[in-house]
Amino acid sequence: MMPLNLMASVDLTKATIEKLQDKLFDKKRITVEVLRTDLIHPVISGNKWFKLKYHLDAAIKQQKIGLLSLGGAYSNHLLAVACTCNAQKLLSVGIVRGEEPAVYSPTLLQLRAYGMQLLFTGREQFKNKLILKQQWAERFSRYYWVNEGGQSEEGVQGAQEILSLVPINNYSHIICAAATGTMMAGLLKSSKHTQYIIGIPVLKINDRENNELITFLKTKSDHPHFSLLYNFEEGGYAKKTPGLIAFMNTLYKQHQLPTDFVYTGKLFRAIFSLAENNFFPEGSNVLAIHSGGLQGNRSLAEGELIFKYNL
Ligand SMILES: *Cc1c(COP(=O)(O)O)cnc(C)c1O
């Protein structure tokens, strides 16, 4: 059961598939197509909707009065929660990383405008999600708890629906950005075992053999053919380099593709670098998931990017 208001406002038919036409890909004899999940809704963009939908279902079934979740001051996830709840006439509470700032970020202002109650939490405290959950879930017992980034069974279940938007058999490789890995787990569960699924971690991961992301992916799926490719995180989560910003501007100029520096900018920079280094064999048909979420760009100085993003 999907709530009616949102069915009307999230429009999956807007998630077009666009070919990235580039000399590099021609030279390497590969094709790269982009699934634009960023276009399904002006605010609830990309993978956040998919990861949220079954949480919303469960909350409504359990007759909760709202959703309770957590994230940073530029969180695509909290914005999706706030906007979704607003449309559903549900309440929402956001536990925000860091002390309350003197000046709210544009994203925080928007969360407040959607009626989200904001609970600012020191950065140290924010690190222990289990304690946060214990602390707040009891006080807000009539709210449905959603893990950070929608990482849960419900989140994975929703993310499995992303590939229903594409002619799945056309692709040899599917590539996406990965933070919690919830979206990637959904892709692993909904793709063929002959397809190669690649995640580009956007956070710094020191132990490449054994880390939370890999463990999560392995517990969620038995897909035999996937990799996490490191070295594209540009220093760490929400970190950036001048090279990344320049790349995003060039990508926009040449392909009219808007990206953000936290997730999709790193993903597309990785794709070009992998192609350059012959990672994709000749004849590969690559599907790149544009997972949406441009909020991070709102922390940049005016004019750093040549394109406009989320109002
Ligand atoms: C949240 C987010 C991701 C990360 O998704 P995970 O499921 O946590 O790996 C990727 N891209 C964008 C645009 C996001 O907002």
180: which 2 tokens? 């919690």
**Per-residue pLDDT averaged across 71-87, rounded?**
95
- Split at pLDDT 50, 70, 90, the class of 9 is confident
Give me the pLDDT at residue 2, please. Answer: 53
The C-alpha atoms of residue 260 and residue 17 are separated, in whole angstroms, by 19
Ligand 1, closest atom to CA 38?
13
Which ligand 1 atom is nearest residue 186's CA? 7
Mutate to test the pocket of ligand 1, among 53, 54, 76 (most ligand atoms within 8 A of CB): 76
Q: How far apart are CA 244 and CA 265, in angstroms?
A: 7
The answer on pLDDT for 8 being more than 80 is no
| pLDDT tens readout for residues 243-285 | 999 999 999 999 999 999 999 999 999 999 999 999 999 999 9
Beta strands in 123-221 (DSSP E): 143-145, 173-178, 196-201
With a cut of 90, say whether residue 137 has pLDDT above it.
no
The pLDDT of residue 208 is above 80: yes
Pocket around ligand 1 at a 6 A CB cut-off: 46-48, 76-77, 149, 177-184, 263-264, 291-293
How many angstroms is it from 27 CA to the middle of ligand 1? 30
Q: Inform me whether the pLDDT recorded for 236 exceeds 70.
A: yes
Percent of the chain at pLDDT > 90 equals 93
User: Which conformational region is residue 46 in: left (phi greater than 0), alpha (psi within -120 to 50 degrees), or beta?
Assistant: left
Nearest atom, ligand 1, residue 182 CA: 7
271 and 257 in contact (C-beta within 8 Å)?
A: no
Contacts of residue 94, defined as CB under 8 A and 6 or more positions apart, other chains included, come to: 69, 70, 71, 75, 78, 81, 82, 111, 116, 117, 118, 119
Please tell me the predicted confidence (pLDDT) of residue 45: 83
Q: Report the C-alpha gap between 291 and 158 in whole angstroms.
A: 13
CA 309 to chain centre: 16
The best mutation among 263, 264, 295 to test binding of ligand 1, ranked by most ligand atoms within 8 Å of the C-beta, falls on: 263
For residue 183, how far is its CA from the centre of ligand 1 (angstroms)? 7
Q: Residue 37 gets which letter from DSSP?
A: G
Question: Is 199 in contact with 233 (CB distance < 8 Å)?
Answer: no
pLDDT at residue 5 in the model = 63
Ligand 1 mean position, distance from CA 47 (Å): 6
Mean model confidence pLDDT for the chain: 95
Structure pTM?
0.96
pLDDT in tens, 159-206: 999 999 999 999 999 999 999 999 999 999 999 999 999 999 999 999
Q: How far is the CA of 149 from the centre of ligand 1 (A)?
A: 7
CA nearest to 97, candidates 124, 133, 136, 134: 124
Residue whose Cα lies nearest atom 14 of ligand 1: it is 293
- Cβ neighbours, 10 Å, residue 154: 22
